[in-house]
Amino acid sequence: MTERQKYKVLQKYEHFELRTYEACVVAQIAMAVNYSSATSGAFRYLFNYISKGNQTSTPIAMTAPVIAATEGSLDSQEWSISFVMPADSDIKGLPIPVDSKVVLHEVPKQDCVALSFRGWATIGLSKRKEVELRNHAQKEHFSLSKETRICRFDPPFKPGFLQYNEIVIPLQV
């Protein structure tokens, strides 16, 4: 089974969860295009990194989710697409990316709200789920950052009705 990003559920609410995500390392690529173009365009570079490393290293295990993050509106033309590295990864022990578009980045431990949903994580469905999560979190008096993460857990060939996804929003610090 594919390793998933590590977190602990702090509290379950009716429509979402409050979680603490452990610190992790991600391989990330920034793209100045729409969501659909960013996710399809970045995947190849990130997959090449984990499968080939720096040409002398062993492949890195695929993990979940693939994260598409943006600040502000999901209509953004600025996206960061990330693969979470395996939990025991240390940034110094990972191969240096051959392609300069791929950057390794340490993500600190952080508290977030999360809402899961099924279906293709299209921009339309993701927007509806983001609004739903922000509204529910506001009712519980959470102060959220502007960042929104669309987290996809399944390969693209899996039927849409079986696709598992999450919207994750960090708390404002």
| Per-residue model confidence as pLDDT tens digits over 70-102 | 998 899 999 999 999 999 899 999 999 989 999
Flag whether the pTM goes above 0.75. Answer: yes
- Centre a 10 Å sphere on the Cβ of residue 26 and count the other Cβ atoms it contains: 22
pLDDT at 56: 63
Given CATH 3.20.80.10, say whether it is the number of domain 3-170. yes
Average pLDDT, rounded, for the chain: 94
Calculate the CA 122 to chain-centre distance: 14
What confidence tier does 2 reach under pLDDT thresholds 50, 70, 90? confident
CA distances from 55 to 12, 59, 96 (A): 44, 9, 10
Residue whose C-alpha is closest to residue 30's, from 62, 76, 65: 76
Domain boundaries of the chain, sorted by first residue? 3-170
